[in-house]
Structure 1
Amino acid sequence: MTTPDIDHDFLASARRTLLLEQNALRDLCERLDAPFTHACQHMLACRGRVVVTGVGKSGHVGRKIAATLASTGTPSFFVHAGEASHGDLGMLVRDDLVLALSNSGETAELTALLPLFKRLGTTMIAMTGNTSSSLARHADVHLDVSVAQEACPLNLAPTSSTTAALALGDALAIALLEARRFSPEDFALSHPGGTLGKRLLLRVEDLMHTGDELPVIRQDARLSEALVEMTRKGHGFTCITDNTGRLVGIYTDGDLRRTIDRHGDVRQLIIWDIMTPGGRTIGAQTLAAEAVRVMEDHRITALVVVDDRHRPIGLLKMHDLLRSGIV
């Protein structure tokens, strides 16, 4: 290996690489035709799983494609072609569909599996850069991901070709997602541990304080009773209800400071006379992300959760949303 050139124009090299890969994607886009539609139709009709397989760089790309398919509504997993010949092919069943990746289309580990795919009657889609290769000829559908030139100046390291294969895998996944009418809620079900999943799955009822944690007093109670309830529950306010249990107002720590400023002796005051009428409310089935928006819009840190009769059934605080990872 020769001595590295520390004065090399790295930016020029990067721009050349990106332009070559951009050209490869443009050519791929212009070349898309009926086989892509046929591949999507086969995958959409598949009653099993899409089993993606490959070796080397194509294997790495295949892993990513399988992961993207699985997270967007197409059940899929990756099997290394080399391991498939040594037992992992047992993961494949007749109703599955194989998506095989090989730039040359002659990868020995993949071509060795062709008779087994035929024996199982498994539909095979090949993604190669060689339309006359063994994989292309034996596939039910062949997707041409050939490139005019690798970004590697030696035209050896898989660069433009892997970018094209990866992009076509994304195109398959998104075309299927749209055909399935895959919704944000569907996506969240595949990502329950992520922030997006939490924003789309968590509802107010999953986070709210209920039962004895909920501070509530009647509208004819004295201020002293309200203060006891607020202190005992520790949320900084209490709900005020009428004789039927409907929410008519709230009383907060801020209200208490204003009451002391305006009145001398506060011990005998009736809460109805000094409460804040109404109060911001939300339903238990509302998405927690919507609760965040309401709190931010009105610059408040808590919401009363009410039922369809406007009776308080819970309490949601910004702290609960922060702790859950929604914010």
Structure 2
Amino acid sequence: MTPPLLVVGEVRTALLMNSRPLGRTGVEAMLARLAHGAHVRTAERPVPRAVSADVVEAVDSPVRTGSAAKSRGVGTLLARAKVTGGRVLQASTRGTLVPGGTRRLPWAHYLERLGTVEVIGRARTDDLAKGFPGTRPPDAELAPGAVSDRLLAQVQRSAALDHQPTFRARRTQLRWSAVAVPGSRPGGTFTLFGTTERTLELRLPADGFPDAAEIAALCEDLALHDWLLSVLAEAADRAGGQADTASLHRIRPAVHHLIHLWSPGTDIRAELLAVWEDLEERPGFTRQWQTCVDRIRDSMSLNILEGLTRRPPPTRPQAPAIPQTITNGTHHR
């Protein structure tokens, strides 16, 4: 099978708008509504997670290129929602870009190839790869992130949620692309832009090039753990390194609901784990996570110790008073 020109996608990650973790039954029912009752994939270990069926989005828009050459993409994108631990919501959209000739065809042609976007024009793989993910979100061009935004908002509006989260957390967005490179080892370049935007440029072997859904699973896993690390680090920063009760009260919800969700590499095809290995080497996600967790636990331990030292010493029992009588102004014992 000939590798595509480029596979692209965007992931949005956010705190589920609910005061407590949503149970498995509630998550399944909520995600099933996205695709008219279609089957929801679930798993319980190592962490509970559920993934909706794919939602189809038709697209017909310009495609960004590095050279600014005019190209048009026509076809469909596939989007899905994922809930991890009943707490973290992700909306992910993906599309496979392939050559599309010189003219647009009837929609029936594109609907037979779900998840495929045909690029009309003389677009080259290297030119497309320079255009996406880029250093800024797409505007008028092909924008998987817009689809993810709508899907995320749709889930967050669900009547199954009470819309009263116990703590605040920023939403993050990851734009990614995957290109086939002959004879290469799987690898990628992960870049942060500000506090919420990230990009991932993947280079994958042309021989046995993964399916777009498998690549998306890798990107969803990376986006999840980047979000967990960002939220916990921000919570620790808000505490200001203080061990007082008020500071720890501010970070307790994030620790209680998120710290057990760290499990990188879940649901990732074995051949793609090399990408995670590179990211563990640099920037070292798990190393950063452990440092953050240790920092919070040290603050909690100090809070307990300071609480013990602040306790007043036990009071000694007082001897009973000796009764006294007064007679003619004279005290008698």
> Which structure's CA Rg is the greater one?
1
Same fold flag (TM > 0.5) = no
* Bigger fraction of residues in helix: 1
**RCO higher in structure (CA 8 A, sep ≥6):** 2
TM-score grouping bracket, smaller chain normalisation: under 0.3
